[in-house]
């Protein structure tokens, strides 16, 4: 984190990104302890000296890999606050389903699943980083979704607490398939995945749908 706050030259940033990408693949394939710093340097096309100059240690590199991959995944999530303006009552359900599909695409890549498994396995020695990785993957997505949902609440398309609605969306749509993948279970077939997303969206709409369309809804 502290390193990020110093401005770096683009070539240096590119080098760091190449190293963390190479390191992510080696860590995921081999596990933390067996992963070889020599191989990571070789794959990234840098000397071992450069590797240590940038990251200090294997521990430091692992921590930066978790952080960099969280950033990358988060940046590729298709949650755009301004998009809520174009959603209509009739497109809301389909919009949320598409969001769910895109969300799962990002979090269910072998690299993200592998890093998540590693963060859990190594959480005893990287407690703060494992937690930051989890929070990066979960809390930040919830916050971004909540900002978009707030727009939908303002326009009367959703009702209630936008942050709760976002948290519910993530639990119902995203967490189940990710949890499955942790144990090496085969991913849902495409049809099952679509049904899972549709059911999650149905429940979000049942819990946070427009009051006007659902006046006698609970609470």
Q: Tell whether residue 180 is a contact of a second copy (CB under 8 A).
A: yes
Give the closest residue to 84 by CA, choosing from 150, 174, 143: 150
Provide the minimum distance between the beta carbon of 185 and a second copy in the complex, in angstroms, as a whole number: 5
Between the CA atoms of 176, 183, 78 and 98, what dihedral angle is there, to the nearest 10 degrees?
-50
Nearest approach, Cβ of 112 to a second copy (angstroms)? 14
x/- contact string, 116-145, with a second copy (CB under 8 A)? -x-xxx-xx--x--xx-xxx--x-------
Stretch that binds a second copy, among 7-15, 55-63, 69-77, 203-211 (CB under 8 A): 203-211
- Tell me which of 17, 175, 187, 192 binds a second copy, using CB under 8 A: 175
CA distance 112 to 171: 18
Options 106, 153, 159, 172; binder of a second copy; rule CB under 8 A: 172
Distance between CA atoms of residues 6 and 113, nearest Å: 30
**What contacts 145, CB < 8 A, 6 or more positions away?**
79, 166, 169, 170
| Residue 186 dihedral angles phi and psi, to the nearest 5° | -60, 140
**Which spans of this chain sit near a second copy (rule: CB under 8 A)?**
31, 117, 119-121, 123-124, 127, 130-131, 133-135, 138, 164, 168, 171-172, 175-176, 179-180, 182-185, 199, 202-203, 205-207, 209, 213-219
């Amino acid at each position: 984190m502290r390193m990020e706050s110093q401005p770096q030259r683009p070539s240096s940033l590119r080098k760091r990104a190449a190293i963390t990408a190479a390191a992510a693949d080696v860590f995921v394939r081999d596990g933390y302890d067996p992963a070889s710093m020599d191989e990571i340097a070789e794959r990234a096309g840098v000397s071992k000296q450069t590797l240590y100059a940038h990251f200090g240690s294997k521990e430091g590199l692992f921590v930066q890999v978790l952080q960099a991959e969280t950033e990358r995944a988060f940046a590729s999530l298709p949650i755009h606050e301004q998009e809520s303006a174009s959603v209509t009552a009739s497109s809301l359900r389909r919009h949320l389903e598409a969001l769910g599909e895109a969300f799962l695409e990002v979090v269910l890549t072998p690299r993200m699943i592998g890093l998540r498994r590693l963060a859990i396995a190594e959480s005893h020695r990287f407690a703060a980083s494992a937690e930051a990785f989890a929070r990066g993957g979960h809390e930040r997505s919830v916050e971004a979704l909540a900002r978009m949902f707030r727009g939908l609440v303002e326009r009367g398309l959703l009702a209630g607490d936008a942050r709760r609605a976002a948290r519910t969306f993530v639990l119902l749509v995203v967490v189940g398939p990710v949890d499955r993948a942790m144990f090496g279970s085969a991913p849902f077939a495409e049809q099952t995945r679509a049904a899972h997303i549709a059911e999650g969206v149905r429940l979000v709409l049942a819990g946070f749908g427009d009051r006007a369309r659902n006046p006698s809804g609970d609470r």
